[in-house]
Each structure stands twice: as structure tokens, then as C-alpha cells.
Amino acid sequence: MLVRALSLVLVGGCIAATACGGDDDATATPTGVGGSAAAGKAGSGSAGKAGATEAGGTGEMAGASEGGAGNTEDPHVARGSYLVNHVAACPDCHTPRDDMGAPILDKFLSGAECFVQLPNGDCLNSRNLTSDATGLANFSDDEIKDMIQNGMAPTADGGKKPLNPVMPYYVYHNISADDIDDIVAYLRTVPPVEHDVPADADSFTVPAAANPVDPATIPMPAEDFADQASALRGRYLAGVVGVCLECHTKHEDAGSADVIKPENFFAGGELFQVGLPNNPVSANLTSDSDTGLGDWTTDQIVKVLLEGVDDEGKGICPPMPVGPMGAFGGLTQDDATDIANYIKSLPAISNQIDDMCSFPPGQ
């Protein structure tokens, strides 16, 4: 069934409030921490995801993150926490895992070494996002925002260097001013964990930051869609601050200035090599009735997001962060409904995607 291919990635685009990767250049920056929030994809194609760890488990981590944060009663911190932990699923990329693939909760958001490994052994490391000096403590708010939205990290000599687009800053470029402020406010409250993430291999270096997505090219809801207001809210959640657009759009070849192109938005086809017998390919989310989700109801899509099961009661394979133990299990009912309505409203694109694996819930 198509919904079993509904695989919003946790491990491909480094779904993080900053970027993936370590960078020694930033360690001496006067306003920056010991290590940058740096790098990402090996180019911009699927190969950059090779060897990434299995995803999942944001639900396990959310309690630790939200309970351990500073002033979560502050509405701005609370909003930032919600976006980081449940919409963008940052902990799934930025929390190290044990040998069984389970998140190490006392190292929450402290960065994962060799998060992406190429066949030659070269590694990309996800950045420490905690409030430690080896994390984000010494970066200014503007520097953090520049990494999140523009893919530029400060260097020790006072300059800047481009981040590799495993970190989808080209999508996050369009996050609203209020939400980016709230994300930074929340990250300031994340308990410090000392972890000086090593520099990435040179093979992950890029000559320039990827081009940001032009917000005008993010599909609008079909004109005849009934609940336009809900779908428009979902457009922001799925196409800007969340990861649906990045994960459900086939990436261009490594080195392309445009990582994803409008003609392919939400039509699926991105491969995620997560170590399963049949590595998943992201589904076509458009309203095409033959190759997309045109026959799915809004309630069925919401059930996938919140409960992690399809219409046959089967679980969704990694790296889809769904269900009670996944990031999206913490979405509010309203936000899950808005995302589902937006998906239902997407203009149809014909793109046949091979089915991915599924399994009984709980296995």
C-alpha cells in the first residue's frame, strides 16, 4: 500500500534546528562554540545518506528534552521545543545511539559521530546542539540562525563557510522570524552535554551553500480543496519548518545548487539507505490517484502520523518518525490534521514509487 511508503526521513536530511557535522574551524570563533553546526550531504544526492543509522525514538527522547529544558513555561521556549522535537524531529539526528540503535538519553542532542558514512569510510557527524561550550553556548543567536536558514557557519578567522546540505537549511530558510526566534530560545535551554564533535571528512566540503527554496514555488492547495485555511497551515508545517518537502522530493545530483526542484516537490522517490533489507524510498504524497495518496482520507493520513499504522494496521518502517515513539506522535491533533489536509490538497504528480517494507506494530 502507498501509505507504507510514507517515509518522512529522520536520517537523510539532518532534521535539526541547526546543521549536521563537526567543523574545527569554528572552535576558536569568539562568539562561537567549540565546533560548528556544520555539514551534511555528500553533495545533495542519495549517496549522502549511505550508512546512516536507523531512525526513530524521538518520542522516547521528547520527555527528557522537554522536562530537562529550562523555562518550558515560557511560551516561546515551549513553541521552540515543540518545533524542534515534534515537527522537525531534530533529536533523531542529533542524539547519539547505542549499539542497538536506541537513543542515549543522557546525551540528548549532543551530536552523533559518523551520522553519515560513505562507502570509503568518510564520516559526517551531527552537531552538538546542547548549551555546552562544545555545543551552542558561545554562538550568537544570529550565528545560529545563519546556520539554520542560510547554511553558513562562522569560522575561527571571523569569516563564514558553507554547510553541506544534509542539513536542509535550503528549506528552513523560509521559517518565520517568530519561529526561528523560538527555536533558538529553546536550544538555549537544552541541558549542556560536553561532546566535542570531530570535524567532518573533507569529502563533505562544499564550495557554496545550496540555493534556498523559493517560497513561491511551494505548492499551494488546490483551488477546489474544501478546507483552504487548514491546508495553508499545513503548507507551512510540511513545506517550511517540517521535513516533508525535503524528504519527499527526489534530490538532484551531488553538487547541484538546487538540491530539490519544484517540478518534483512532494512526488517522492528519494532513497534512504538505513540498513533494512529493502531500503525505503519516500512516497509520492501528491493527490495523484494512481501513484500518490489521492485515495487516502485525511483521517487515514492523521492515523499514520499519530499512531504509526496504515489502513491495514501495519506499522511504518524507519526512518518514518511516526506513532507514539516517533516525533510525529507528539504533533497536536490540529497540526496533524493541517498537515494531512495539505497533503490531500497537493496537485497531482504521476510518479510511481515501489512499496517499502512494513511490519506488525510493536515489532
Is the CB of residue 104 less than 8 Å from the CB of residue 96?
yes
- pTM for the whole thing? 0.82
**Cis link prior to 212 (omega < 30° from 0)?**
no
Domain coordinates of the chain in residue numbers? 2-9+213-359, 24-204
Residue with cell 501528491: 286
Q: Is the peptide bond before 262 cis (omega within 30 degrees of 0)?
A: no
Q: Cα 197 from chain centroid? A: 20
Residue 33: what pLDDT? Answer: 22
**How does pLDDT run along the chain (363 residues), one tens digit per residue?**
333 233 333 333 333 334 445 544 443 222 222 222 222 222 333 333 333 333 445 555 655 555 444 455 899 999 999 999 999 988 988 899 888 888 899 999 999 999 888 889 999 998 899 999 999 999 999 999 999 999 999 888 999 999 889 889 999 999 999 999 999 999 999 999 999 999 899 999 999 999 999 999 999 999 999 999 999 999 999 999 999 999 999 999 888 999 999 999 999 999 887 666 677 888 899 999 999 998 899 999 999 999 998 877 888 877 788 888 889 999 999 999 999 999 999 999 999 987 655 555 544
How far apart CA 206 and CA 19 sit, in angstroms, is 14
Provide the pLDDT for residue 311: 73
- For residue 43, what pLDDT is reported? 30
Q: How far apart are CA 20 and CA 14, in angstroms?
A: 6
pLDDT value of position 6: 34
Grid coordinates standing for 103?
Answer: 537513543
pLDDT at 310: 81
* Confidence at residue 88, expressed as pLDDT on a 0 to 100 scale: 93
In three-state secondary structure terms, 270 is: coil
Among candidates 271, 297, 295, which has minimal Cα distance to 283?
271
